[in-house]
Amino acid sequence: MAKDFLAGTKDRYDVVVIGSGLAGLTGANVLAKQGYSVLLLEHHYQLGGMATWFKRRGGHIFDISLHGFPVGMKKSCRKYWTDEIAESIVQLKGIRFENPQFSLRTTFTREDFTRIITDEFGIPFETVDQFFATARSMNFYDDQSKTTRELFEEFFPGRSDVHRLLMEPITYANGSTMEDPAITYGIVFSNFMSKGVFTFQGGTDKLVQQMKAELEANGVDIRIRSLVEEVEVTPDRRVTAVVVNGKRVECGAVLSNANIKSTILKLVGEEHFDPEYVDEAKAVRLNNSSCQVYIGLKPGVSFDDSCGDLLFHSEHTGFDVDAMLSKDVSSRTFSFYYPQTRPGSDRWLIVSSTNANYDDWANLPEDQYEADKQHLCETTLDCLEQYVPNIREKLDWIEASTPRTFKHYTRHLEGASFGTKFEGLKVSQTLPEQIHGLFHAGSVGIIMSGWLGAVNYGVITSNEVDKYLTPAEATV
Ligand SMILES: Cc1cc2nc3c(=O)[nH]c(=O)nc-3n(C[C@H](O)[C@H](O)[C@H](O)COP(=O)(O)OP(=O)(O)OC[C@H]3O[C@@H](n4cnc5c(N)ncnc54)[C@H](O)[C@@H]3O)c2cc1C
């Protein structure tokens, strides 16, 4: 008989959290610590959402989205998770750019970027300093009409090399473009520039295991392989229950970590919303997806430290978002993982990531799909050869993932790696105005995406859930 993954669940919880991405996990933890009964439902067999990993024959463990995040993650993990988790967050110092316009290494801090832009690109210090100050002072309530391109032109007119240095890592990271609002760039860039790029020592598996232990200690009822099919709402638009694996579970509130468009259009259904809100939700653009190639070297076989930790490689003459998304790959980000990523390991691993369009991969016939993945692996090795000579002889494992893979595991429409474009944030934040007791936390609008954005958005939304469940007493 098939296993019942919901065996022993209660009939009712204060809060049901749909999805165990970093926003869902964090929201569940904050609410449980506040004393609410929380049911966390995840359709996959593993917690973490995009913050995930997989194991392969021969002892390889590949991380999917552990390439780098800002230092703010340390503070958020200490405050909303545990000291132990915060202590494993360490800096990556070897960031490298190789492209036809420049070849350089940086620690990706404000000081080092200032040095590079002044000494190597010949821009006056005052201009660079003013640019950083402007980016840093940007906040969510600022003018949202200025684009990143306009911001760059204001400070570095006609300097495509500087634009590329400033933009390429952010585009690789979250798919944003020069036409996105400058504030999204300013906030993400300043987060990174505060102290550089950080990682989680021990790997994503260790992080998620520690988070799971903390959730359990705080009393969260966690269920994997549990697909929420429906969020039930009353005619007067109030959340009452979810239907998961065919079972109805009542609740006071729902925090959805599923894609915002799926939450509205699939889990609830458009008939429950104002028509204008539905139009707005439908108009939200999804972010692009990704392809990755996972490369494991034979046990004990290494690559040189000079490879760095993160290498932004591009063969394209200038910065070109369409080229970065093209299936005909000319730009890759290589993450080099040394044994110290997982202390005690004897593995050197490489993950190559490229931005990708879902449509380029979605409807290929099966044999063509497999052949194209194989081609991606081969061209990635060809490219890698210049950084890791004789890579094919050193190789023990190689495989590729595509937008289809990301869609399959996280149920994000079109496998969107970073949820939606900026306009998704407003739709996400105004969801509770449409349906009482329904909240969303998860990748929307760049700022609320990535590891740090997702964790912080989980906290912000759980505070809203708390206010809804326990309204403040009227003051006299
Ligand atoms: C290739 C790649 C590389 C990345 N690299 C980085 C990086 O280096 N640094 C960084 O900061 N960020 C990176 N990111 C982005 C980062 O991983 C994500 O922004 C973040 O993890 C998303 O968290 P989330 O809370 O929005 O939820 P998600 O991770 O999107 O998780 C949502 C969860 O909800 C579950 N779910 C959905 N629908 C249902 C349902 N109906 N029922 C039950 N469960 C459901 C899904 O299975 C999933 O577990 C990367 C992403 C990708 C794809």
| 100-119 residue pLDDT tens | 999 999 999 999 999 999 99
Average pLDDT across the chain, whole number: 94
396 & 423 share domain: no
Confidence check: pLDDT of 71 > 50: yes
- Ligand 1, pocket-test mutation among 16, 26, 50, most atoms within 8 A of CB: 50
| 172-191 residue pLDDT tens | 877 888 998 999 899 888 88
Domain assignment present for residue 98? The answer is no
Q: Give the distance (Å) from ligand 1 centre to CA of residue 50.
A: 3
Ligand 1 atom nearest to CA at 457: 25
pLDDT of residue 473: 59
Do the beta carbons of residue 151 and residue 110 sit within 8 Å? no
Distance, C-alpha 249 to centroid of its chain: 29
231 & 133 share domain: no
pLDDT of residue 15: 98
- DSSP sequence for 230-297: EEEE-TTSBEEEEEETTEEEEEEEEEE-S-HHHIIIIII-GGGS-HHHHHHHHHPPBPPEEEEEEEEE
- Tokens coding 22: 């970093």
422 & 277 share domain: yes
294 & 391 share domain: yes
pLDDT-derived band of residue 474, with 50, 70 and 90 as boundaries?
very low
| 403-455 residue pLDDT tens | 999 999 999 999 998 889 889 999 999 999 999 999 999 999 777 889 999 99
- CB of 462 sitting under 6 A from ligand 1: no
- CB of 20 sitting under 6 A from ligand 1: yes
Domain assignment present for residue 455? The answer is yes
pLDDT > 90 in the chain, percent: 83
Domain assignment present for residue 281? The answer is yes
CATH code for position 424: 3.50.50.60
148 & 165 share domain: yes
Domain assignment present for residue 150? The answer is yes
- What 3-state class would DSSP assign to 467? helix
- CB of 448 sitting under 6 A from ligand 1: no
d(C-alpha 315, C-alpha 324), whole Å:
10
Ligand 1 atom nearest to CA at 444: 26
Domain assignment present for residue 256? The answer is yes
- CB of 188 sitting under 6 A from ligand 1: no
Total domain count, the chain: 3
296 & 405 share domain: yes
- CB of 401 sitting under 6 A from ligand 1: no
Ligand 1 atom nearest to CA at 66: 8
pLDDT of residue 428: 97
Domain assignment present for residue 79? The answer is yes
- CB of 252 sitting under 6 A from ligand 1: no
Distance, C-alpha 126 to centroid of its chain: 34
460 & 444 share domain: yes
- CB of 208 sitting under 6 A from ligand 1: no
- CB of 418 sitting under 6 A from ligand 1: yes
pLDDT of residue 447: 78
d(C-alpha 304, C-alpha 338), whole Å:
10
Nearest alpha carbon, ligand 1 atom 38: 258
Domain with 277 in it: 12-45+224-285+418-469
389 & 350 share domain: yes
pLDDT-derived band of residue 476, with 50, 70 and 90 as boundaries?
very low
- CB of 69 sitting under 6 A from ligand 1: yes
27 & 39 share domain: yes
300 & 403 share domain: yes
152 & 113 share domain: yes
pLDDT of residue 215: 98
CATH code for position 316: 3.90.660
- CB of 223 sitting under 6 A from ligand 1: no
* β pairing state of 247-256 and 12-18: parallel
Domain assignment present for residue 395? The answer is yes
Confidence check: pLDDT of 323 > 90: no
257 & 269 share domain: yes
- What 3-state class would DSSP assign to 117? helix
Domain assignment present for residue 383? The answer is yes
Which of 195, 215, 239 represents a domain boundary (last residue)?
Answer: 195
pTM over 0.85: yes
User: What is the rounded radius of gyration, in angstroms, for the C-alpha atoms of the chain?
Assistant: 22
Ligand 1 atom nearest to CA at 24: 25
pLDDT of residue 475: 46
